[in-house]
Amino acid sequence: MVPHQKIPLPEERPGRARPEGERPGGARPEGRTAPPQLPPVIGHRGAAASAPENTLAGLRRAKALGCRWVEFDVRLTGDGALVLCHDSRLDRTTNGSGLVSATSLAAVRELDAGTWFDPGFAGERVPTLDEALLLASELDLGANIEIKSDRGREYATAAAVATTVQRLRGRAPAVLVSSFLLAALAALRDLAPQIPRGALFRSIPRGWGEVAHGIGCMMIGSDHRRLRPRRIAAIRAAGYRLSAYTVNDPARARLLFDWGVTSVFSDAPDILCAVSAGHIRTLARQGAMR
C-alpha cells in the first residue's frame, strides 16, 4: 500500500499544461494550483454515448470525435491498483460481478468491459490508470482523473493517483484530478499540491467558497440541472473554472455557457462542437482565453 508521506512533484511539462492568466472577474486566489487549459467540451467517461465508458476504446473514440480532454473515473482494486471504473461494483460495465475493491487487478483484467455496451467492443479490458494516461498522452488528450472510492479508502486512492502521475512524469498528459470526495482532494492537496484539483458537487452548497479555498481547487463541478445563474456568477467572479455534467443537449450547453459555465462534460462531445465553437468566440471576446 502507498505510504503516507509527502510526494515530491514534478513541474508541469512545458507546452502540455499551460497556466491560464488572470481573467476579468476574478484573480486566482493565493496558493491555488496553476490550472490547465480546459476546453469547453470534455468527453465524459471517454465518449460514453458511442463507446463503452472508461475504456481505452472510449478514449480513442473521444479523440476521433474531436475532444481535447477526456474525463474518466478511477478506483482501487483489492490489491491497490488503480483501474478505470465508475461504479463500486463490476456488474454494470463488465461481465464480472462484485466490488472492485474486493477484486484483484489480475481478476479485473480477465473481464470483458466492452460487450455489455456493444458486441463490436468485445474483448475491451478494464484499463489501468497507467494505460489510460499513456494512451491519452499518445492521443494528445488532457486527462481529468475523477477519484472514486469506497468509504475509508479515499486517502489511499488519492495517494495512488499522486504516485502514478509522478511516476509517469514526462510521459503523462496534462491532468486535472477531481472528486466528490473532499477527503480525497484534501489528501491530494497535502501529498501532491502541484496537481490541479477540482471539487465536484451534486448541488453546489452555500459554503462552496470555503471548501474550494480549503481544497485549493481551480475547478468546481456540478450537476448542470442544479446550477443557477447567480451561483455561477459568484463562482466565476472568484476566479474558478466551472464545469457542468453531464450535458448532451446542445441547447442546454448553449444556455450554460451563456450563464458562465466554462466546460461541460458530455457523453456525445461531437454533438456539442458547434455550440462550443460559439462559446470559444464568447470567451475570446471576454479575454478569458489568454
Residues near ligand G3P (CB under 6 A): 44, 71, 73, 86, 146, 178, 200, 221, 245, 265
- Which does residue 200 touch among Mg ion, ligand G3P, none (CB within 5 to 8 A, set by kind)? ligand G3P
Residue at shortest CB range from ligand G3P = 245
- Does residue 124 bind Mg ion (CB under 5 A)? no
Indicate if 224 belongs to the active site. no
CB of 285 to Mg ion, least distance (A): 31
Q: Which of 53, 146, 154, 270 binds Mg ion (CB under 5 A)?
A: 146
In the block, cell 502540455 appears at: 16
Q: Which of 4, 44, 213, 224 is catalytic?
A: 44
- Which does residue 265 touch among Mg ion, ligand G3P, none (CB within 5 to 8 A, set by kind)? ligand G3P
Q: Which is nearer to ligand G3P, 52 or 221 (CB)?
A: 221
Q: Which of 4, 86, 213, 224 is catalytic?
A: 86
Distance CA 33, CA 216 (A): 7
How many residues make contact with Mg ion (CB under 5 A)?
A: 2
CB of 5 to ligand G3P, least distance (A): 28
CB of 3 to ligand G3P, least distance (A): 28
Q: Which is nearer to Mg ion, 20 or 223 (CB)?
A: 223
Q: What is the 3-state secondary structure (H, E, C) of the chain?
A: CCCCCCCCCCCCCCCCCCCCCCECCECCCCCCCCCCCCCCEEEECCCCCCCCCCCHHHHHHHHHCCCCEEEEEEEECCCCCEEECCCCECCCCCCCCCEHHHCCHHHHHCCCCCCCCCHHHCCCCCCEHHHHHHHHHHHCCEEEEEECCCCCCHHHHHHHHHHHHHHCCCCCCCEEEEECCHHHHHHHHHHCCCCCEEEEECCCCCCHHHHHHHHCCCEEEEEHHHCCHHHHHHHHHCCCEEEEECCCCHHHHHHHHHHCCCEEEECCHHHHHHHHHHHHHHHHHHCCCC
> Burial letters for 205-215: b for 16+ Cβ neighbours within 10 Å, e otherwise?
eeebbebbeeb
Residue at shortest CB range from Mg ion = 146
CB of 196 to ligand G3P, least distance (A): 14
Show the cell assigned to 56.
Answer: 481505452
Q: Which is nearer to ligand G3P, 7 or 43 (CB)?
A: 43
Q: Which of 53, 73, 154, 270 binds Mg ion (CB under 5 A)?
A: 73
CB of 146 to Mg ion, least distance (A): 4
Q: Which is nearer to ligand G3P, 7 or 173 (CB)?
A: 173
CB of 73 to Mg ion, least distance (A): 4
Q: Which is nearer to ligand G3P, 92 or 281 (CB)?
A: 92
Closest CA to 179 of 93, 72, 91: 72
Indicate if 279 belongs to the active site. no
Residues forming contacts to Mg ion in the complex (CB under 5 A) are 73, 146
What is the set of active-site residues? 44, 86
